[in-house]
């Protein structure tokens, strides 16, 4: 069974302890200055945003069919069976295709480094493997960020929406976006207001399918096209051979008449 | 030996010095210091120009090899060698460009061991790697000829049909796949440039630019190296270019029609201005020029049409790589001067290497019988002899 995170913005008090715990878990610097930064970056995998006194967390969505994993030429990203989309830094060549491909704009880059890495939330895979919750979920004082089984969290989110229809906007962000993710957001307002791309824009098709449709044709295309090219080559050069043979014939004829 | 100080040599030295300085910044202070790329704009000028345009500009190689060796268009024979040389240099420089753009270029070989067959980038990488090797073998006979080594020329001659078919197959794959790279960004790339047909556009534009670049290159080399301009060759290429441009235009129009954008592209907007620029340079000007028979027979007009075609498609690819993302990102990306400087250095290296190759290798040598030409010339020569000898016999009688 795969794990997931449910973020309930209505329970969030904006204490940013998740940011601090995330930084500690990933050995990143965290102080008041970093806390004040309202964008994600190579040193800030998650951020709590504030708008009209309402909060919203941003983090990697851990897509069920992640674009970053499908586009990476060296397979540096992969989705583990436990849920997290993880990054093998030793494979990475630094092409940054993952950054361009991700609809949520999650992978960030160490632009100042001489041996730069791609950075993003990796859903504490070590903790997940040990059966412990992610650092952000563990520290959250109100339970706004909750860690658990993906299916259970989906049922729980639906239940909360059903029980408090006046509190919530009736929408679970992450359920259908790009074919489903492992992070779900429920809130009283729109996640789109905090920079999340709308379903209408990104659709419910898993991103890898867009390139997969073309890539899956290649194994058929290569032999057919090779055959066609070889055929064209043969035909166009056969003409010359025939011409040469005819010339040879003519020569013999001429020789014959000459005698 | 005294080196004459000419305008272009001074320009070359200035470009190289600035380029080397920028390279120092790149490798000792990082990508952040050398470029204006950001987390929002992770691909900049180097991907847009050095990679997307570089591979397109090198398409003359497979176009001419295809025309001459595959379709047996004998009349274009004299342009194959310069086209293959341009392609070979183009791909080598593309790889040089990648070494600047990749964050960890020293791991570029990982491609060979950590393969991800689902990745378009992986496919492009493998094709480019293999195709550069193919081009190397297609180029090698020049060197052997200059060294007067006959045996290895014979070997290459034997595998030449394989090289030709492999080269065109790989070119078809990666030229179109450069477009497929963008298929995964439907919500980011502006609809003027995002299309499910991108792979077809990229292939079609590569063919058009391949033809245009060959016209450009032949004219330019004729000027620079004081060679006789072969008008019939240019006329053939010009005719083919006109057809290629029409095919490109029809593909684009049909795509806009199917996606219901035909009305929108005429409404003024930031993107529309760049699209108009692209369409005027790519289609309006060269198609108009080439529609006149007089222009199709004039080297000057053909030269001009080829320049506009090349500029137009460069604009097209820069629009796809840079302009098309600005609305999504919400701000403009303007490359830093050091980014331009490295791109210029790579282009200057291309010109210098081309010049050196032409100087020391039989690229344009008419006096040389084409070394790596499959069976045909011998047959033809024999055929001619076959005609000639009986006549002589008869004369003797």
In which domain, by residue range, is A221 found? 217-258
CB-CB neighbors (< 8 A) of B382 in chain A: 244, 247
Question: The pTM is what?
Answer: 0.89
**Chain A CB within 8 Å of residue B184 CB:** yes
Task: Give the closest of B39, B118, B165 to A229, CB-based.
Answer: B165
Alpha carbon B348 to chain centroid distance?
A: 15
CB-based contact B39 A41, cutoff 8 Å = yes
**For chain B, what is the mean pLDDT?**
88
Shared-domain flag, residues A90 and A193: yes
What is the pLDDT, as a whole number, of residue A256?
66
CB-CB under 8 Å, A232 with B121:
no
State yes or no: pLDDT of B383 exceeds 50.
no
Mean pLDDT, to the nearest integer, of B104-120? 94
pLDDT at residue B369 greater than cutoff 80: no
Q: What is the pLDDT of residue A255?
A: 76
Do both A141 and A171 map to the same domain?
yes
For residues A110 and A226, membership in a common domain is answered with: no
Kindly report, residue by residue over A144-202, the tens digit of the pLDDT.
999 999 999 999 999 999 999 999 999 999 999 999 999 999 999 999 999 999 999 99
Query: For residues A77 and A63, what is the distance between their CA atoms, to the nearest angstrom?
Result: 12
In chain B, the percentage of residues whose pLDDT exceeds 90 is 73
pLDDT value for A184: 97
Residue A74 falls inside a structural domain: yes
Task: Say whether residue B164 is in contact with chain A using an 8 A CB cutoff.
Answer: yes
Minimal-distance CA residue of chain A relative to B122: A73
Q: Under an 8 A CB cutoff, do B187 and A105 touch?
A: no
ipTM: 0.89
How far apart are the CA of A164 and the nearest CA of chain B, in angstroms? 33
Q: In Å, what is the CA distance from A152 to each residue of A3, A80, A155, A158, A167?
A: 9, 19, 5, 10, 21
pLDDT at B1: 55
What is the pLDDT at residue B396?
33
On whether both A25 and A121 belong to a single domain, the answer is yes
Closest approach of B263 to chain A, Cα-based (Å) = 21
Q: In chain A, which residues have their Cβ closer than 8 Å to the Cβ of B105?
A: 93-94
A223 & A136 share domain: no
Disruptive mutation site among A88, A118, A214 for chain B (greatest number of B CBs within 10 Å): A214
Q: How close A100 comes to chain B (CA, Å)?
A: 7
> B125-129, B216-220, B269-273: which has the minimum mean pLDDT?
B216-220
Residue B153 has pLDDT above 90, yes or no: no
Whether B197 and chain A come into contact, CB under 8 Å, resolves to: no
C-beta atoms of B187 and A201 within 8 A: yes
Give chain A's domain count. 2
Residues on chain B touching A255 (C-beta within 8 angstroms): 390, 393
Beta bridge partners of A56: A49
Q: How far lies A86's CA from each of A128, A169, A181, B121, in Å?
A: 12, 31, 14, 20
Q: State the CATH number of the domain containing residue A64.
A: 3.30.70.20
Q: What's residue A242's pLDDT?
A: 87
For residue B101, list chain A residues with Cβ-Cβ distance below 8 A: 95
Nearest-Cα residue of chain B relative to residue A247: B383
Same domain, A164 and A245: no
- Residue A64 covered by a domain: yes
Is the domain of A81 the same as that of A159?
yes
Answer yes or no: do A240 and A123 share one domain: no
Q: Tell me whether B97 touches chain A (CB under 8 Å).
A: no
DSSP chain A: --EEEEEEGGG-----HHHHHHHHHTT---SHHHHH--S-BTTBS-EEEEETTEEEEE-----SS-HHHHH-TT--EEE-TTS-EEE-TTT-----HHHHH-TT---EE-TT-SS--EE-----HHHHHTTPPPHHHHH-SSSSEEEEEHHHHHHHHHHHHHH-TTTS-S--BTSSGGG--SEEEE-SS-GGGGTPPPHHHH-SS-THHHHHHHHTTHHHHHHHHHHHHHHHHHHHHHHHHHHHHHHHHHHHHHHHHH-
Q: Give yes or no: residues A151 and A118 share one domain.
A: yes
Sites in chain A below the pLDDT cut of 70: 256-259
Position A212 in a domain: no
Average predicted confidence (pLDDT) for chain A: 93
Residue B378 pLDDT > 60 = no
Could you tell me if A119 and A160 lie in one domain?
Answer: yes
Alpha carbon A108 to chain centroid distance? 12
Interfacial B residues in 205-244 facing A (CB < 8 Å): none
- Alpha carbons A201 and A210: distance in angstroms, whole number: 15
Q: Would the pLDDT of B2 be above 80?
A: no
pLDDT, tens digit, 9 for 90 and up, residues B197-256: 999 999 999 999 999 999 998 888 888 877 777 888 999 999 999 999 999 999 999 999
CB contact under 8 A, A243 and B27: no
Q: Residue B371 has what pLDDT?
A: 41
Model pLDDT, residue B225: 78
Strand partners for A47: A58
With a cut of 60, say whether residue B55 has pLDDT above it. yes
Q: Which of B105, B173, B375 sits opposite A237 (nearest CB)?
A: B375
From chain B, pick out residues whose CB is under 8 angstroms from the CB of A249.
none
Q: Do B104 and A233 touch (CB under 8 A)?
A: no
Q: How close does chain A come to B27, measured CA to CA in Å?
A: 7
How far separated are the first and last CA of chain B, in Å rounded?
61
Q: Is residue A91 part of a domain?
A: yes
In a domain, A51, yes or no: yes
Instruction: Say whether both A165 and A230 belong to one domain.
Output: no
Residue A97 C-alpha, separation from nearest chain B C-alpha, in angstroms: 8
Same domain, A252 and A158: no
B329 touches chain A (CB under 8 A): no
Residue A193 maps to a domain = yes
pLDDT digits (tens, 9 = 90+) for B305-354: 999 999 999 999 999 999 999 999 988 999 999 999 999 999 999 999 99
Domain ranges of chain B: 46-362
Q: Is the pLDDT of residue B195 over 70?
A: yes
Q: What is the CATH class of B46-362?
A: mainly alpha
For position B335, what pLDDT does the model report? 95
Report how far residue B341's alpha carbon sits from residue A60's, in angstroms, rounded to the nearest whole number. Answer: 36
């Amino acid at each position: 069974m795969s794990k997931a995170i449910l973020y309930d913005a209505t329970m969030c008090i904006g204490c940013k302890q998740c940011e601090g715990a995330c930084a500690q878990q990933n050995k990143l610097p965290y102080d008041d200055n970093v806390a004040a930064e309202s964008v994600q970056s190579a040193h800030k995998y998650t951020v709590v945003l504030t708008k009209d006194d309402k909060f919203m967390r941003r983090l990697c969505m851990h897509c069920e069919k992640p674009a970053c994993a499908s586009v990476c030429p060296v397979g540096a990203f992969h989705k583990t069976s436990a849920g997290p989309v993880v990054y093998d830094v030793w494979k990475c060549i630094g092409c940054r295709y993952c950054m361009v491909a991700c609809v949520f704009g999650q992978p960030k880059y160490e632009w100042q480094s001489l041996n730069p890495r791609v950075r993003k939330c990796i859903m504490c895979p070590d903790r997940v493997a040990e059966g412990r919750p992610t650092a952000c979920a563990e520290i959250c004082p109100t339970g706004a960020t909750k860690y658990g089984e993906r299916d259970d969290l989906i049922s729980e989110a639906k239940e909360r929406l059903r029980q408090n229809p006046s509190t919530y906007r009736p929408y679970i962000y992450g359920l259908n976006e790009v074919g489903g993710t492992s992070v779900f957001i429920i809130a009283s307002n729109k996640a789109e207001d905090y920079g999340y791309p709308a379903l209408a824009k990104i659709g419910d098709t898993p991103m890898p399918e867009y390139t997969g449709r073309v890539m899956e044709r290649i194994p058929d295309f290569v032999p057919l096209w090779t055959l066609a090219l070889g055929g064209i080559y043969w035909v166009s050069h056969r003409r010359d051979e025939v011409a040469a043979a005819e010339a040879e014939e003519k020569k013999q004829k001429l020789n014959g008449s000459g005698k | 030996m005294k080196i004459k100080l000419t305008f272009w040599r001074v320009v070359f030295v200035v470009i190289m010095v600035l380029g080397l300085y920028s390279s120092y910044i790149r490798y000792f202070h990082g990508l952040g210091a050398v470029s204006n790329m950001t987390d929002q704009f992770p691909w900049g000028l180097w991907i847009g120009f050095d990679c997307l345009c570089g591979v397109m500009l090198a398409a003359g190689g497979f176009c001419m090899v295809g025309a001459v060796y595959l379709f047996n268009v004998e009349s274009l024979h004299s342009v194959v060698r310069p086209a293959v040389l341009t392609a070979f240099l183009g791909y080598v420089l593309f790889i040089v460009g990648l070494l600047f753009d990749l964050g960890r270029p020293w791991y570029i070989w990982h491609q060979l061991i950590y393969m991800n067959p689902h990745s378009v980038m992986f496919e492009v990488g493998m094709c480019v790697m293999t195709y550069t090797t193919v081009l190397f073998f297609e180029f090698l006979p020049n060197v052997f000829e200059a060294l007067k080594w006959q045996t290895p020329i014979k070997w290459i001659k034997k595998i030449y049909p394989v090289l030709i078919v492999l080269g065109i197959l790989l070119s078809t794959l990666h030229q179109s796949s450069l477009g497929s790279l963008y298929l995964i960004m439907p919500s980011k790339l502006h609809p003027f440039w995002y299309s499910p047909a991108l792979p077809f556009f990229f292939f079609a534009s590569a063919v058009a630019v391949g033809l245009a670049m060959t016209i450009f290159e032949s004219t330019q080399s004729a000027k620079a190296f004081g060679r006789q301009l072969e008008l019939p060759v240019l006329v053939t290429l010009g005719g083919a270019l006109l057809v290629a441009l029409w095919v490109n235009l029809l593909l684009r129009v049909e795509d806009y029609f199917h996606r219901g954008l035909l009305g929108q592209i005429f409404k003024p907007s930031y993107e529309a201005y760049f699209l108009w620029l692209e369409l005027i340079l790519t289609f309006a000007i060269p198609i108009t020029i080439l529609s006149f028979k007089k222009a199709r027979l004039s080297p000057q007009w053909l030269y001009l049409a080829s320049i506009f075609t090349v500029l137009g498609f460069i604009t097209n690819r820069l629009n796809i790589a840079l302009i098309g993302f600005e609305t999504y990102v919400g701000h403009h990306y303007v490359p830093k001067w050091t980014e331009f400087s490295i791109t210029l250095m790579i282009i200057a290296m291309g010109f210098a290497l081309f010049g050196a190759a032409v100087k020391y290798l039989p690229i344009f040598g008419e006096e040389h019988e084409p070394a790596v030409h499959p069976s045909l010339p011998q047959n033809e020569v024999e055929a001619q002899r076959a005609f000639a000898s009986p006549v002589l016999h008869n004369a003797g009688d």
